[in-house]
Amino acid sequence: MSKAAATETEFVTAWIAEQLFGIPITRVHDVFEAERITRVPLAPSEISGVLNLRGRVVTALDMRKRLGLPPREDFGKQMAIGIDHDGEAYGLLVDGMGEVLKLSSTALDAAPINLQKNWAAICSGIYRLEDRLMVVLDVDKILDFRKDTLAA
Amino acid sequence: MEDLLREFLTETNESLDVVDNELVRFEQEPNNAEILGRIFRLVHTIKGTCGFIGLPRLEALAHAAETVMGKFRDGAPVTADAVSLVLVTIDRLKSILAELEATAAEPAGSDGDLIVQLEQMALDGGASAPAAEEITIGTLSPQVLERSLRPGEVSLDDLERAFRDTPGPQDKKQEKRGDDRRVGERREPGAANTNQTLRVSVDTVERLMTMVSELVLTRNQLLEIVRRHSESEFKVPLQRLSNVTAELQEGVMKTRMQPIGNAWAKLPRIVRDLGQELGKEIELEMHGAETELDRQVLDIIRDPLTHMVRNSADHGLETTDERRKAGKPVKGTIRLSAYQASGQIVIEIADDGRGLNLSKIRRRAIEAGLISDEDHPSEAQLHKLIFAPGFSTAEKVTSVSGRGVGMDVVKTNIDQIGGTIDLKSTPGRGSTFSIKIPLTLAIVPALIVQAGGERYAIPQVAVVELVHRGSNANLVEEINGALVLRLRDKLLPLLSLTQMLRLPKQPEANSDAFVIVMQVGASLFGIVVDDVMHTEEIVVKPVASSLRDIKVLGGNTILGDGAVIMILDPNGIAESIGASREERTIDGFVIRDEALPQEEALKTVSLLMFRSGSGTLKAVPLSLVTRLEEIDAKKIERSSGRPMVQYRGGLMPLIPADENAKLAEDGTQPLLVFTDGGRSVGLIVDEIVDIVEDRLEIKVASDTPGVLGSAIIRDQATEIIDVAHFLPLGFSDWFHGPQGHAREKKKLLFVDDSAFFRNMLAPVLQAAGYDVTALASAKEALTALEHGASFDAVVTDLEMPEIDGFAFAEALRANANFSHLPVIALTSTLSPAVASKCESAGMYGYVAKFDRRGLLQALKNAAVELQEAA
């Protein structure tokens, strides 16, 4: 956020309800199509369920729910971004994948103070791209939703 | 050399651990020569081995320690300081070994300091502990070093050899050493000089385990595929593969099992040192060290256990003064115990200390922001708080505990392996932590069930039995919303899986069709599911931490078909079924039906319920049915207009159980098979409904051929079919006996007041080749006999009005004309009392009412004996 020594970071980008989001590529394990999700009874509403990804059990997290957005209306491919968090595999369900972008820290801004609270909690900055803004997601904070849910 | 060194390191480290513990014991029992002997020999072995492979530093240290031990053996007083010094020496040995392991070379350095102290101790006969402490490295070591080692070693060695030689000749000593080796091996087999055991690196076993797990999954997948193709040529080899896989899995699992004592090995030493440091007298009791559990589980609980024992010593037990003031024995006790209970390992850590200080916990919890000032948590809730992150009540940070590593870490570790931790505490009396952990994490057999459209796995260890609701809608009853099941003579609390997991209710008729009876600890309960699929060996995978709060889920697994399903946690379910588990415990609940009460047996009959044709429920006593079969409809043939099926190498005629009954066109055709004298008849039914235990009372007699009458079975009107009607329909010659022989038939008198039994049994006896006269009372029978009717044998019911079976038999015996007649009693209760009564009435034998085969056998025996007697 400071203007000193611009650094470049690669982001995996994804669309959720018309908004572009980015996750540092170093945190992304893989990108896959989420099929055959098994619902987990009594689970927090953000968790859509679990699925088998090449013999590994992956917990699928509904990003729309996490961001307080209405459920998806179209029934296209359900893409997911695979994340490893403390040795556990999570899949963040998104509407669609974008490109991998290499972005300079000069285009990075702090999250604006008027950003909604639940978004601000998981946003670690905003990139000013030429044609749109990209919200950088903080993976650890996304997965720390239990605290929010418990507090609510 | 590399291998040799590695072997040496492993063996020596193990030996040192043993020495550690033995020394602690020895300190408590200084007169136990056996312990001392063991320590001495272990140290001696270490010394010898070090000398052999050229490790002078270790050898010198071990030698000095051995010398002190030798003094103890010679009767030098065993002081705490002397033991401490030897323990310090052992620590030094261990640190040298550690470096040796890392660098493959003995580290440079001098142990003069310790050796001097040890020698001083040896010279003073172990008594001059303070002197030993005063000796410091700086001042004394050069001196002593100069005069000590070379000459000292030789002389002491000789001395010691002389000592050892005194009790007996050299070969005897060798023999003794052989024994010791075995003692050592009992704890950890695998010493170098035996080819029965083999040291394998843990990595190798782990890799094997992973591969076996994958193999099990693949095997399951294959089984799933073959299950869909009934005519697969892979079936047989796959069965073989399946068996081999199962054996392999078991074998690999076994290699992973280790006694829990391995995780306790370091505790005696730790407790001893703690006791000295804290100025407390502590006794550590260990029970069930031989309890085995999976290595992976063992590794995970090792540190938590150590931590908890430390905690008990530090926080749990009072200081010596406090104990004395409280009137307790000065020596505090920490008791560790482990045992296996219903597929789980229970580990308890109990102390007889002060118990949890509730007000202190409350204060600390408020400080840590865990609860607010206004909160007034219950005792149990307060207990739970000590597992909260960052919680520690230690007033001062000692080197022992209070370092921020708290009970929360313990709980996390235990949670991680699907275990639970519980705590009971009584102020002034002590606290007991009990940890329940699964035997193994890897593979468990599970029952796959369905509820609300999803499949779930239930670990089979908790499943006692399955109950199918069948057509009986009243199986599950409700008391103000609480579901219960009448299971034999008790009420079983039930939980609907659909409700518990808040699943959508399935509209189909087959929802809630099964009750799975489960037992967790002492509590017995049932869960209601829509369907039971099959059993499968599942590889348990832990759920993500964000799902770990869901108590009723114990993990997830990938099934043979690739789907992920959730594993239900029986413990969690048991907790959710009632706020207090104890309240729900049903004491003395009859789990297996071996203990059916006598009077119940008297009244009830096993009935096979089925539907046929008209759709009315029909029933037949199960004991009359030989077998239930489902045959492929395509295999039904016709011979002279009658349906037949090839069955067990013969042709079996098929008879409709109802005139409206139709043979299935395709698919399977359920049959009730009645067999007698090697012949079978198949009764065509539409659907086999259930087997019920109920009283059989025919309320309305029937004129319809094939129906005896109607009875109320489980609150439903049911037709009781007349087997006697159907048997002759299969073979026109049925009445002529199986072989159709012309030999003279034995004449049989059959007395029973119940028309039902007369109708049921008479044809059976006729079919077996007897000429049967069936009469309704003993009076009629006696009249018939007096009028000259002759019989070869008598079969009689026992419970009859006017003249009962016993009186009837006695009347027969009293008459010289009939006293030779063998009388066989039919009884609904088989009990010693009835048996002795039958005997004293002079009866030949007695059989259960529905035991057709038993009756025929008894008749045959009676005939043979009569012939022999004649």
> Higher model confidence: residue B188 or residue B564?
B564
Tokens of B797: 């019911």
Rounded mean pLDDT, B101-123: 80
Tokens of B586: 């049903």
* Chain B residue closest in CA terms to A50: B564
pLDDT value at B622 more than 70: yes
Tokens of B300: 């995970």
pLDDT value at B587 more than 70: no
For B720, residues 6+ apart whose C-beta sits below 8 A from its C-beta are: B618, B619, B620, B696, B698, B707, B708, B709, B710, B711, B756
Q: What are phi and psi of B202, to 5 degrees?
A: -60, -35
pLDDT value at B763 more than 80: no
pLDDT value at B542 more than 70: yes
What's the pLDDT at B690?
Answer: 79
Q: What are phi and psi of A96, to 5 degrees?
A: -165, 160
What's the pLDDT at B678?
Answer: 61
- Kindly report the nearest CA distance between residue A125 and chain B, in angstroms: 25
Domain-by-domain residue ranges, chain A? 9-151
Of A51, A52, A59, the CB nearest to B546: A59
Domain at B260-438: CATH architecture: 2-Layer Sandwich (3.30)
A42 with B550: Cβ contact below 8 A: yes
When pLDDT is cut at 50, 70 and 90, the band that residue B697 belongs to is: low
The CATH classification number of B2-187 equals: 1.20.120.160
Tokens of B429: 């009396």
Which CATH fold would you assign to the domain B202-256? Helix Hairpins (1.10.287)
Q: How far apart are CA B576 and CA B206, in angstroms?
A: 36
* Chain A residue closest in CA terms to B547: A43
User: How does A111-133 read in b/e, with b if 16+ C-beta sit within 10 Å?
Assistant: beeeeeeebebbbbbbbeeeeee
When pLDDT is cut at 50, 70 and 90, the band that residue A126 belongs to is: very high
* Chain B residue closest in CA terms to A41: B501
Rounded mean pLDDT, B757-785: 81
Residue-wise pLDDT tens digits, A99-112: 999 998 888 888 88
What's the pLDDT at B71?
Answer: 79
B562 Cβ under 8 Å from any chain A Cβ: yes
A52 with B547: Cβ contact below 8 A: no
A50 with B566: Cβ contact below 8 A: yes
How far CA B831 is from CA of B638, B838, B851, in Å, comes to 48, 11, 15
CB B276 within 8 A of CB B80: yes
What's the pLDDT at A21?
Answer: 95
Residue-wise pLDDT tens digits, B706-745: 777 777 777 778 888 877 677 666 665 444 444 434 456 7
Q: How far apart are CA B65 and CA B63, in angstroms?
A: 5
> Residue by residue, what is the 3-state secondary structure of B586-623?
CCCCCCCHHHCCHHHHHHEEEEEEEECCCCCEEEEEHH
Of B545, B550, B556, the CB nearest to A57: B556
Rounded mean pLDDT, B120-127: 67
Q: Which of B307-311, B470-474, B618-622 has the lowest average pLDDT?
A: B470-474
pLDDT value at B532 more than 90: no
For B395, residues 6+ apart whose C-beta sits below 8 A from its C-beta are: none
CB B753 within 8 A of CB B778: no
A82 Cβ under 8 Å from any chain B Cβ: no
Residue A131 is given by DSSP the state: S
Which of B78-87, B367-376, B428-437, B686-695 is modeled with the greatest confidence?
B428-437
Alpha helices in B470-597 (DSSP H): 497-500, 570-577, 581-584
Rounded mean pLDDT, B280-306: 85
> Higher model confidence: residue B194 or residue B316?
B316
Q: How far apart are CA B860 and CA B858, in angstroms?
A: 5
Q: What is the strand order of the sheet B443-451 is part of?
A: B531-539, B443-451, B454-459, B564-568, B553-558
When pLDDT is cut at 50, 70 and 90, the band that residue B521 belongs to is: low
- Kindly report the nearest CA distance between residue B439 and chain A, in angstroms: 22
CB A61 within 8 A of CB A93: yes
What's the pLDDT at B509?
Answer: 53
What's the pLDDT at B416?
Answer: 65
| Reported pTM | 0.41
What's the pLDDT at B134?
Answer: 36
Q: How far apart are CA B714 and CA B191, in angstroms?
A: 67
Residue-wise pLDDT tens digits, B482-496: 888 887 777 888 888
SS3 B345: strand
> Higher model confidence: residue B860 or residue A130?
A130
Q: How far apart are CA A146 and CA A13, in angstroms?
A: 25
For A95, residues 6+ apart whose C-beta sits below 8 A from its C-beta are: A14, A15, A16, A17, A64, A72, A76, A79
Rounded mean pLDDT, B827-854: 77
* Chain A residue closest in CA terms to B563: A52
Which CATH fold would you assign to the domain B744-869? Rossmann fold (3.40.50)
Tally Cβ neighbours within 10 Å of residue B134.
12
The CATH classification number of B443-591 equals: 2.30.30.40
Residue B313 is given by DSSP the state: I
CB A121 within 8 A of CB A128: no
Q: How far apart are CA A31 and CA B457, in angstroms?
A: 29
> Higher model confidence: residue B418 or residue B247?
B247
Which CATH fold would you assign to the domain A9-151? OB fold (Dihydrolipoamide Acetyltransferase, E2P) (2.40.50)
User: What's at B679, amino acid-wise?
Assistant: R
Q: How far apart are CA B57 and CA B50, in angstroms?
A: 9
Q: What are phi and psi of B519, to 5 degrees?
A: -125, 125
Q: What are phi and psi of B549, to 5 degrees?
A: -75, -15
A59 Cβ under 8 Å from any chain B Cβ: yes
Which CATH fold would you assign to the domain B596-730? OB fold (Dihydrolipoamide Acetyltransferase, E2P) (2.40.50)
Residue-wise pLDDT tens digits, B590-615: 222 222 333 333 346 677 888 887 77
What's the pLDDT at B60?
Answer: 83
What's the pLDDT at B159?
Answer: 47
Residue B337 is given by DSSP the state: E
CB A16 within 8 A of CB A137: no
What's the pLDDT at B402?
Answer: 40
Q: What is the mean pLDDT of chain B?
A: 75
Residue-wise pLDDT tens digits, B316-370: 888 888 888 888 888 899 999 998 775 678 899 999 988 888 888 888 888 777 7
Q: How far apart are CA B229 and CA B726, in angstroms?
A: 37
- Kindly report the nearest CA distance between residue A143 and chain B, in angstroms: 8
Complete DSSP assignment for B256-311:
HEEETHHHHTTHHHHHHHHHHHHT--EEEEEE-TT-EEEHHHHHHHHHHHHHHHHH
For B723, residues 6+ apart whose C-beta sits below 8 A from its C-beta are: B620, B624, B674, B760, B763, B764
User: What's at B554, amino acid-wise?
Assistant: G
Burial, B499: exposed, middle or buried (Cβ in 10 Å; 0-12, 13-18, 19+)? middle
Rounded mean pLDDT, A75-102: 89
Q: Provide the chain A residues 14-43 that lie in CB contact (below 8 A) with chain B.
A: 36, 38-43
B546 with A38: Cβ contact below 8 A: no
B369 Cβ under 8 Å from any chain A Cβ: no
Domain-by-domain residue ranges, chain B? 2-187, 202-256, 260-438, 443-591, 596-730, 744-869
- In the block, tokens 């009420």 appear at B491
Q: Which of B116-125, B140-149, B533-542, B664-673 has the lowest average pLDDT?
A: B140-149
Distance of CA B297 to the CA centre of its chain: 18
Percent of chain A with pLDDT over 90: 43
What's the pLDDT at B701?
Answer: 63
Secondary structure element (H or E) that encloses residue B857, with its range: helix B852-869
Q: What are phi and psi of B285, to 5 degrees?
A: -100, 140
Complex ipTM > 0.95: no
A60 Cβ under 8 Å from any chain B Cβ: no
Secondary structure element (H or E) that encloses residue B478, with its range: strand B476-479
